[in-house]
Amino acid sequence: MNPLDQARTLVEQAQRIAVLTGAGVSAESGIPTFRGPGGLWRNYRPEELATPEAFERNPQLVWEWYRWRRRLIAAAEPNAGHLALAELERRTPVFTLITQNVDGLHGRAGSRRILKIHGDIWLSRCTGCSYQRTDRATEDEAVPLCPDCGAMLRPGVVWFGEPLPRLVWEEAERAVYDSQLLIVAGTSAQVYPAAGLIGLARGATIEVNLDETSFSKAVTVALRGGCAELLRQLALTGPPSG
Ligand code: BJW
Ligand code: ZN
């Protein structure tokens, strides 16, 4: 059997599926990945901006980067890969989508059970109190301030050195541990603890990625190619092609 048919058989046999997605799933919607070409913004690497230290040093710069990304995301549409995962959820008795992406495209594609382990770009939260809100602001303006306490608001995402939301993370760990199949799509699997989820899988594993990653040799089936087409193929029902 070729790898795609092998992977489709695993998908059809599994009653409990967990999926871990990364920036590669949204790349074909026109959203730059972090570590690939096109990830640069004004010569900054994402790793230089997605930190509490960067925000402390220059909150205006960090907000400009997030507003630029918000504009790209607002103009983007979910692609065939997002849609295929939503379809797979409808067909699978127990299905959990764990995403490192903050863009909200899985929700817009119709996925229901989504664990956003790195937060949500449309959320702003206070650096001084528990205030938070969802807002659609995309145009550059001064750093937004908290209506309750006056401190700066920050993007509601998880930066390097910060803990992941505890309950969401615990649910993600449980979903992977309890799954019969884990699909890992469009992530370089370099950022922890997210990448560590792959090691928790006790069942079969499928990787979908343009390139090899440090986990490729350990997975049951590695599919090389674009997420949009490969996830679409994976979610097709019916007998394998041959
Ligand atoms: C396609 C495709 C197509 C493209 N089709 N495929 C040493 C060892 C272990 C850990 C650490 C360490 N040193 C430091 C750490 C910790 C650190 C970390 O992991 N660092 C590593 C870089 C080494 N982790 C943390 O700090 C985390 N927190 C933490 O550990 O807390 C501990 C703590 C506990 C208690 C108290 C306090 C602290 C937090 C990590 C947060 C990551 N945040 C970001 C930003 C989110 C907000 C935002 O979006 O701005 O998350 S960084 C960025 O990387 C973002 C992503 O979600 C994440 C992962 O990236 P992803 O999705 O994998 O994207 P890429 O670009 O890397 O890869 C894309 C892939 O797609 C590639 O493989 C392509 O080939 C592929 N591809 N097009 C198919 N069309
Ligand atoms: Zn506040």
Q: What is the model's pLDDT at position 241?
A: 57
Give the H or E element holding residue 61.
helix 59-75
Catalytic residue of the set 80, 118, 179, 198: 118
Per-residue pLDDT of the chain (242 residues), as tens digits, is 899 999 999 999 999 999 999 999 999 999 999 998 777 788 898 889 999 999 999 999 999 999 999 999 999 999 999 999 999 999 999 999 999 999 999 999 999 999 999 999 999 999 999 999 999 999 878 999 999 999 999 999 999 999 999 999 999 999 999 999 999 999 999 999 999 999 999 999 999 999 999 999 999 999 999 999 999 999 987 666 54
Single-letter code of the amino acid located at 88: L
Q: What is the pLDDT of residue 37?
A: 77
- For residues 26 and 128, membership in a common domain is answered with no
pLDDT for 240:
60
Distance 224 CA to ligand 1 centre (A): 20
Length of the chain: 242
Contact 100, 118 (CB under 8 A): yes
Q: Are residues 104 and 171 in the same domain?
A: yes
Q: In what order do the strands lie in the sheet with 181-185?
A: 114-116, 94-99, 16-21, 181-185, 204-209, 221-224
The residue whose C-alpha atom lies closest to atom 16 belonging to ligand 1 is 192
Residues with Cβ within 8 Å of 130's Cβ and at least 6 positions away in sequence, in order, are: none
Distance 195 CA to ligand 1 centre (A): 8
16/104 same-domain check: yes
Q: Which of these three, 157, 183, 206, is where a domain ends?
A: 157
Written in H, E and C, the secondary structure of 185-229 is: ECCCCCCCCHHHHHHHCCCEEEEEECCCCCCHHHCCEEEECCHHH
Nearest-CA residue for atom 4 of ligand 1: 24
Q: Report the alpha-carbon distance of residue 223 to residue 210 in Å, rounded.
A: 8
The predicted pLDDT at position 33 comes to: 95
Q: Spell out where 26-118 has E strands.
A: 94-99, 114-116
Answer whether 226 contacts ligand 1 (Cβ < 6 A).
Answer: yes
CATH of the domain at 153: 3.30.1600.10
According to the model, what pLDDT value does residue 43 have? 84
Q: Examine the domain organization and report whether 227 and 172 are in the same domain.
A: yes
Atom 50 of ligand 1 has which residue's CA nearest to it?
A: 50
CATH number, position 8: 3.40.50.1220
pLDDT of residue 119: 98
CB of 36 closer than 6 A to ligand 1?
Answer: yes
- 194 in the same domain as 110: yes
Question: What is residue 239's predicted lDDT score, i.e. its pLDDT?
Answer: 65
Question: What is the residue range of 87's domain?
Answer: 1-30+78-118+164-242
> At 173, phi and psi to the nearest 5?
-60, -45
Q: Are residues 182 and 64 in the same domain?
A: no
How many folded domains does the chain comprise? 2
Q: How many Å apart are CA 220 and CA 177, to the nearest integer?
A: 16
